Amino acid sequence: MENRKRAIDWLQKSARSYLEDGNGKKALTAVAAIKSLAPDHPLLAELRVKIYLLEAKSASQPVPAGIPAGASTGTAWPLASGYVVTNDHIVADSSDVILINGSGQELAAQVVLRDQASDIALLEVGDADKLPPAIPLANSPLRLGSRVFTLGFPRLDLMGSLPKLSEGVISGTNGLLEDPGSLQTTVPIQPGNSGGPLLNMNGEVVGVVKSMLGIRDERQGSIYLLPNASCALKIKCVRDLLNLLPRRDAALTILPRRSGDLETLAARIQSSVLIVVAR
């Protein structure tokens, strides 16, 4: 019995280590071994969900013309301080990061601070004056059923380089496994939406788009992506990360906090979302 417990402990530590390294295949092998020893082990569900999220958010986005082969692309957006928010998995282990604004201008950026656990990265550029206006952060939490939308750059190869809008509602005020730092939404997203702002109907950021949700077919190994299910990090995660940096005065103009219909809000905000390219 003691040897069995030690084996399970070792396997779950191995699974977590593989997940940290981004190796979902090896993590799944460790989970299968745990299941063979303890089919009802309480960690199985948690580890499987983390594997699904890893593989869903790692779904590759084909590289369009003009973007270097092997590059990772996603969405980013500026804060009043001049920092730029995106997902950590886009820029992780990259030595070259570029932001592309609505005019097609390329801005060299560098990673200032990363939070791998929350999947957030803060970037900065040499001249913040070249960034578009900042998007304001929401001060109030959203309730279940609140209407939300995102603007971003999904599937650049097929859908083009202009920002795309998708909308939905808050379907869960906590994330998977009741994660208090995340939200569940019905906003449909694709590879490339990662890092984009999740916005309320006042044009304020309530979260950071993180990942699609999927279910693995354990017999075939394939993943079925749920069409209207996605996860976003609550904006508190961004505020917490900002608090670790030296305080800055506002460097950018901030877009107004004003309610409107979806068309009005899209017109106001679309120029403030950026393509991020990392390699």
Residues belonging to the active site: 89, 119, 194
For residue 231, the tally of other CB atoms under 10 A from its CB is 26
Check if the beta carbon of residue 231 is closer than 8 Å to that of residue 210: yes
Q: What's the angle, vertex CA 204, arms to CA 188 and CA 50, rounded to 5?
A: 45
Per the DSSP assignment, residues forming a β-bridge with 123 are: 84, 111
Distance (Å, rounded) from C-alpha 86 to C-alpha 76?
Answer: 5
**CB atoms inside a 10 Å sphere around CB 133:** 16
Question: How far is Cα 152 from Cα 220, in angstroms, rounded to an integer?
Answer: 32
Alpha carbon distance 25, 31 (integer Å): 10
